[in-house]
């Protein structure tokens, strides 16, 4: 018995590429029209770049208004306005954070909104990054809060002598450290006066040295200070330095400390009264040339120092480079140690290396006008 084997013909090609379908929907591949439809649906439902990131856009605008109108933040509740102004430059760090968010969300609206805080911040602080020093100067002055807890007063004194300053102001001099500073500075500075916890040392003759009352009965509305609001020690002095171009009135001050107190907020009562009293003394000063050296326990953006900043110029802003932060010494976040002038021209301003204090010393070279 014989059998015949016949191969049946097939209509399907035998060399079709793997993974392609037959168009019936039963294959393993994805039809081209399906991908095109999905892309079209995604394009239609995806938000427009100008509509993405509404929260980022709102935060950027609020940050810009916050920086622009910081002077409107009231001090009636916990001195919030002064607290914000103490650290005002640091709010600029929110700009790159929001920028990263805007780029991640690809939000055109947020990117445009960021122009407001960036512009305001640069207007407020951009000028500080331009080196305005000119070199030279008729007189170099140095101010340093040496710290009552300074473990090495003699070493601090040696560092200050090395600065070469003609006039040296010290604040927060403890009773124990006073003779150490007087001994260590005597050779370089033959003239000096100490009033309470502040002192002035000079290579040039001094005269008319006297304490300045920073606890006068003055308030923002003429109100009297509380009866128990008197600081124990003298914290400011005034003296005349005899220069070859005439007398120079030098004030040294250490305004009251500030604290963030739970339930009370930013406690600045002593500091604010001292600033008003010191401003009153400076306003009454008859000498055309005035230099104020000291720890103001506040930045120049703080409205509490307006009475001083309206009458005196900052050496750092006129002739410095950068923010010149001075406190705390290990990682400075604010410039609360100031050199303010009137009737003289700052030529350079800078901070000195750290000593045993928790503040950095500040220095300035000035020209007589």
146 and 108 in a common domain:
no
Last residue of a domain, one of 91, 112, 128: 128
The verdict on residue 263 lying in a domain is: yes
122 and 81 in a common domain:
yes
Give me the phi and psi of 362, to 5 degrees please. Answer: -120, 150
Q: How far apart are CA 143 and CA 355, in angstroms?
A: 13
Q: Write the pLDDT tens digit of every residue in 123-150.
A: 999 999 999 998 889 999 999 999 999 9
346 and 216 in a common domain:
yes
230 and 111 in a common domain:
no
pLDDT at 19 over 90: no
What pLDDT does 99 receive? 97
The verdict on residue 184 lying in a domain is: yes
By residue range, what is the domain housing residue 147? 134-368
187 and 112 in a common domain:
no
74 and 150 in a common domain:
no
362 and 246 in a common domain:
yes
315 and 335 in a common domain:
yes
- What CATH number has the domain bearing residue 159? 3.60.10.10
What pLDDT does 25 receive? 45
pLDDT at 41 over 70: no
The verdict on residue 16 lying in a domain is: no
What pLDDT does 144 receive? 98
210 and 70 in a common domain:
no
pLDDT at 303 over 50: yes
**pLDDT-derived band at 35, boundaries 50, 70, 90:** confident
What pLDDT does 102 receive? 96
Helices (H), the chain: 32-45, 54-68, 80-86, 94-105, 108-113, 115-125, 153-162, 178-185, 269-284, 306-309, 315-319
Last residue of a domain, one of 101, 128, 155: 128
Mean pLDDT of the chain, nearest integer: 88
Cα 16 to the chain's mean position, in Å?
72
**Cα Rg of the chain (Å, integer):** 34
**pLDDT-derived band at 45, boundaries 50, 70, 90:** low
Give the global pTM.
0.84
173 and 76 in a common domain:
no
242 and 150 in a common domain:
yes
pLDDT at 222 over 70: no
The verdict on residue 8 lying in a domain is: no
271 and 157 in a common domain:
yes
Q: Which residues of 44-71 are buried (b: 16+ CB within 10 A; e: fewer)?
A: eeeeeeeebbeebbebbbebbebbbebe
- Interval 54-71 mean pLDDT: 97
């Amino acid at each position: 018995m014989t059998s015949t084997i016949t191969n049946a013909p097939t209509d399907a090609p035998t060399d079709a590429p793997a993974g392609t379908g037959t168009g019936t929907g039963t294959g393993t591949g994805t039809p081209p029209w399906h991908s095109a439809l999905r892309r079209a649906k995604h394009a239609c439902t995806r938000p427009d770049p100008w509509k993405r990131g509404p929260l980022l856009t709102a935060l950027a605008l609020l940050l810009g208004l916050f920086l622009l109108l910081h002077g409107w933040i009231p001090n009636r509740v916990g001195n919030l306005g002064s607290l914000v102004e103490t650290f005002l430059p640091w709010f600029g760090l929110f700009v790159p954070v929001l920028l990263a968010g805007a780029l991640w969300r690809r939000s055109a609206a947020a990117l445009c909104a960021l122009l407001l805080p960036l512009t305001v911040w640069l207007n407020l602080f951009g000028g500080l990054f331009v080196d305005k020093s000119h070199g030279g100067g008729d007189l170099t002055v140095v101010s340093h809060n040496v710290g009552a807890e300074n473990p090495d007063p003699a070493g601090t004194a040696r560092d200050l002598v090395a600065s070469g300053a003609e006039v040296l102001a010290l604040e927060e001099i403890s009773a124990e450290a006073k003779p150490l500073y007087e001994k260590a500075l005597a050779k370089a500075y033959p003239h000096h006066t100490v009033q309470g916890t502040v002192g002035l040392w000079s290579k040039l003759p001094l005269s008319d040295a006297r304490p300045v009352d920073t606890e006068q009965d003055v308030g923002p509305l003429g109100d009297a200070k509380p009866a128990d609001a008197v600081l124990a020690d003298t914290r400011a002095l005034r003296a005349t330095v005899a220069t070859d171009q005439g007398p120079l009135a030098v004030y040294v001050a250490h305004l009251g400390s500030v604290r963030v107190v739970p339930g009370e907020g930013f406690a600045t009562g002593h500091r604010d009264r001292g600033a008003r009293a010191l401003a009153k003394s400076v306003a009454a000063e008859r000498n055309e040339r005035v230099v104020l050296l000291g720890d103001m326990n506040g930045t120049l953006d703080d409205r509490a120092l307006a009475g001083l900043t309206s009458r005196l110029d900052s050496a750092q802003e006129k002739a410095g480079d950068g923010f010149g932060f001075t406190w705390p010494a290990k990682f400075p976040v604010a410039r609360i140690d100031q050199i303010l002038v009137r009737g003289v021209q700052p030529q350079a301003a800078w901070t000195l290396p750290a000593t045993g204090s928790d503040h950095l010393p500040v220095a300035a070279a000035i020209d007589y006008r």
